[in-house]
């Protein structure tokens, strides 16, 4: 085990090879015992996720964070996920993100002042009032704690790709319109799945006057979509579906709902990360899949299901890597764990109490939606 002096500097770890961390991580985990839970998102690299006590998508890991025992929650994911874990954690629990640079480009596309400006525009246009009597705001889990709190305070909710349809139905039971942010593709695909025509959904561009939306279209719209996207899933194109079908006749194409509407319409199945895994698990032996999601997960699926005589390949041969998730390395994980052994909680994620209250309200509502 490293000494207290050694664990102070991350630089001492980053120069070491990945495989040299394994025994040290295992030793630190053993010493921390039940005081530690490690959460690993499906997009995390193999060298890190192998140490996770629980792995899953953002919804599943939110549930695990809410139920976690012990003192320390080490979240191998990205910043907004660790924020949510801190919001759901019990008093005295400490949430740690191994690398503070592990952010999310989608979450960064909805900044709180932009969202507040959008809301003021909706109020001035007579679409809603300050309390949200005309519009229910729904934010995807891939958003900052401030955006979650914004939605919670105005009667809204957080959702994931697993329960987005349920969140939409919940919102429509309250108001005739929804404001969905920050991922326009998940919002469009979810609305369309529920029977909302494309012409009843508009895109709000925070960098354009009045969102770039014609006032009449705004009044007629049932869903107002924020102009944001996932940099990984937006790279999948309709021609990728056509190409893989031509190359592998009979292949099943399944994609994440963060993909473009045009891609989802060509797919055989659409699902959250857990949903995609379920589709493959339930398929008969001999089935071949092209999957439109993050490459680390696709490669892991390929290895896992090969034993069941199922072939899993990526929809796009160029591969789509979540670069921010990739930032978390075995060296970062070892560093935070050995610091915990020495009594140092580095990279702690702490959400302000005023933000935490309303964000917790929105997250609690999410956990009640199927």
pLDDT tens string 26-64: 999 999 999 999 999 877 788 898 999 988 777 677 778
Q: Is 348 left (phi over 0), alpha (psi -120 to 50) or beta?
A: beta
Do 330 and 245 share a structural domain? Answer: no
Do 262 and 246 share a structural domain? Answer: yes
Q: For residue 58, give Cα distances in angstroms to 27, 132, 152, 157, 321.
A: 28, 27, 18, 15, 17
Range of the domain at 140: 107-230
Count of the separate structural domains present in the chain:
3
What CATH number has the domain bearing residue 116?
A: 3.40.50.10800
Q: What does the mean pLDDT of the chain come to?
A: 90
* Lowest-pLDDT range of 48-57, 309-318, 328-337: 48-57
Do 220 and 111 share a structural domain? Answer: yes
Angstrom distance (rounded) from CA 353 to CA 92: 14
Q: Which residue has the higher pLDDT, 240 or 81?
A: 240
pLDDT at 320: 61
Q: Span 71-94, mean pLDDT?
A: 89
pLDDT at 7: 59
pLDDT at 117: 96
Q: Span 120-140, mean pLDDT?
A: 90
pLDDT at 323: 59
Those residues whose C-beta lies under 8 Å from the C-beta of residue 281, and which sit 6 or more positions away, are 305
Do 21 and 113 share a structural domain? Answer: no
Q: Span 338-349, mean pLDDT?
A: 93
**How does pLDDT run across 169-190, given as a tens digit for each residue?**
999 999 999 999 999 999 999 9
pLDDT at 292: 95
Q: State yes or no: pLDDT of 72 exceeds 60.
A: yes
Q: Which residue has the higher pLDDT, 59 or 15?
A: 15
pLDDT at 228: 95
**How does pLDDT run across 239-281, given as a tens digit for each residue?**
999 999 999 999 999 999 999 999 999 999 999 988 999 999 9
CB 142 within 8 A of CB 182: yes
Do 215 and 196 share a structural domain? Answer: yes
Where is the domain boundary, 210, 230, 250?
230
Where is the domain boundary, 171, 201, 230?
230
Look at residue 368 and tell me if it is in a domain: no
Q: Span 295-321, mean pLDDT?
A: 88
Q: Span 196-221, mean pLDDT?
A: 95
Look at residue 359 and tell me if it is in a domain: no
Q: What percent of the chain has pLDDT over 90?
A: 65
- Kindly tell me the burial class for residue 246, based on how many C-beta atoms sit within 10 Å of its own C-beta (0-12, 13-18, 19 or more): exposed
Q: Which residue has the higher pLDDT, 265 or 125?
A: 265
Those residues whose C-beta lies under 8 Å from the C-beta of residue 173, and which sit 6 or more positions away, are none
pLDDT at 297: 86
Q: Span 5-29, mean pLDDT?
A: 84
Look at residue 284 and tell me if it is in a domain: yes
pLDDT at 236: 95
Look at residue 370 and tell me if it is in a domain: no
User: Which helix (DSSP H) or strand (DSSP E) does residue 41 occupy?
Assistant: strand 36-41
Do 220 and 283 share a structural domain? Answer: no
Those residues whose C-beta lies under 8 Å from the C-beta of residue 259, and which sit 6 or more positions away, are 185, 189, 233, 234, 236, 267, 270, 292
Do 208 and 255 share a structural domain? Answer: no
Do 256 and 268 share a structural domain? Answer: yes
pLDDT at 108: 83
Where is the domain boundary, 180, 214, 230?
230
Look at residue 158 and tell me if it is in a domain: yes
Look at residue 365 and tell me if it is in a domain: no
Do 113 and 88 share a structural domain? Answer: no
pLDDT at 6: 47
Do 258 and 221 share a structural domain? Answer: no
Q: Span 223-239, mean pLDDT?
A: 93
DSSP letter (8 states) at residue 348: B
Do 264 and 335 share a structural domain? Answer: no
Look at residue 320 and tell me if it is in a domain: no
Do 134 and 57 share a structural domain? Answer: no
Q: Span 92-102, mean pLDDT?
A: 90
Look at residue 190 and tell me if it is in a domain: yes
């Amino acid at each position: 085990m490293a000494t207290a002096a050694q664990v102070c500097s991350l630089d001492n770890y980053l120069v070491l090879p990945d495989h040299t961390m394994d025994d040290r991580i295992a030793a630190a985990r053993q010493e921390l015992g039940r005081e530690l839970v490690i959460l690993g998102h499906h997009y995390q690299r193999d060298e890190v996720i192998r140490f996770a006590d629980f792995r899953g998508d953002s919804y599943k890991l939110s549930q695990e964070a809410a139920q976690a025992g012990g003192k320390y929650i080490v979240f191998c994911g990205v910043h907004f996920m660790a924020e949510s874990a801190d919001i759901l954690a019990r008093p005295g629990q400490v949430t740690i993100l191994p690398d503070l640079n592990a952010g999310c480009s989608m979450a960064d596309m909805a900044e709180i002042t932009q969202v507040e400006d959008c809301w003021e525009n909706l109020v001035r246009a007579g679409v809603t009032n300050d309390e949200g009597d005309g519009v229910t705001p729904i934010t995807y889990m891939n958003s900052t704690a401030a955006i979650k709190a914004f939605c919670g305070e105005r009667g809204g909710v957080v959702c994931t790709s697993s329960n987005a349809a349920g969140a939409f139905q919940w919102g429509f039971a309250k108001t005739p319109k929804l404001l969905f942010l920050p991922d326009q593709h998940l919002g469009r695909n979810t609305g369309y799945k529920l029977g909302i025509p494309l012409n009843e959904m508009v895109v709000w561009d925070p960098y354009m006057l009045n969102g770039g939306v014609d006032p009449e279209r705004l009044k007629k719209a049932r869903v107002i979509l924020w102009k944001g996207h996932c940099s990984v899933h937006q790279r999948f194109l309709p021609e990728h579906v056509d190409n893989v079908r031509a190359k592998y006749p009979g292949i099943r194409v399944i994609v994440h709902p963060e993909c473009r509407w045009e891609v989802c319409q060509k797919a055989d199945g659409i699902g959250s990360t857990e949903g995609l895994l379920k589709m493959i698990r339930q398929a008969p032996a001999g089935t071949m899949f092209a999957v439109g999601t993050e490459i680390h997960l696709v490669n892991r699926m390929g290895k896992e299901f090969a034993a069941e005589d199922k072939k899993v390949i990526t929809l796009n041969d160029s591969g789509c890597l979540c670069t921010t998730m990739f930032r978390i390395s075995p060296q970062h994980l070892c560093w935070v764990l050995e610091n915990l052994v020495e009594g140092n909680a580095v990279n702690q994620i702490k959400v302000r109490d005023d933000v935490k209250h309303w964000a917790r309200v929105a997250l609690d509502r999410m956990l009640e939606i199927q």
